[in-house]
Amino acid sequence: MLLSSWEASFVKSFKEIDEELSLDSSIDSFCSGSTAVTMIKQGDHLVIANLGDSRAVLCTRGQKNQPVPIQLTVDLKPNIKSEADRIKKCKGRVFAMDEEPEVFRVWLPDENCPGLAMARAFGDFCLKDYGLISTPEVSYRKLTPDDEFVVLATDGVRVK
């Protein structure tokens, strides 16, 4: 019950954020956007919602009491088969440029732009009709006595 209730709340919240962003004319979000990661801790339960390549990493203690990082999220990039399949089904294209063969990107159907390296994001409305979504992937973890802290991380935040 805990996971499904929180999952529904996260999905609804992420959808509302994307809708509000689309209505804010002071932010140029047509060909730009952001990823996100958020977490709720309830007792010894963690519920994590991830969008794009923001990450949640848990520090736990190993058998020799050393710190061990555990990535709690998956980077939601276009090279993941299920993400690429959704994008292609919506007529978006997924491929890597010759200069960066390891970086798969999302492209418009008939133009080699914008080349977004994410499969999910807030904003980037030029790609929303072509498979880019703002629905987070929601995961769960029960904490143990060895777990110490979680780092929520993102990059590319620019404040004017």
Tokens of 89: 């089904």
Quick: pLDDT tens for 74-92: 999 999 999 999 999 999 9
Q: What does pTM read for this prediction?
A: 0.89
Edge-first strand order for the sheet with 137-142 is: 36-42, 45-51, 137-142
Nearest to 106 by CA among 137, 73, 135, 79: 79
Q: How far apart are CA 11 and CA 79, in angstroms?
A: 23
- Domain positions in the chain: 2-153
Nearest to 14 by CA among 116, 87, 154, 121: 121
Q: Which overall architecture, per CATH, does domain 2-153 show? A: 4-Layer Sandwich (3.60)
Quick: pLDDT tens for 112-149: 999 999 999 999 999 999 999 999 999 999 999 999 99
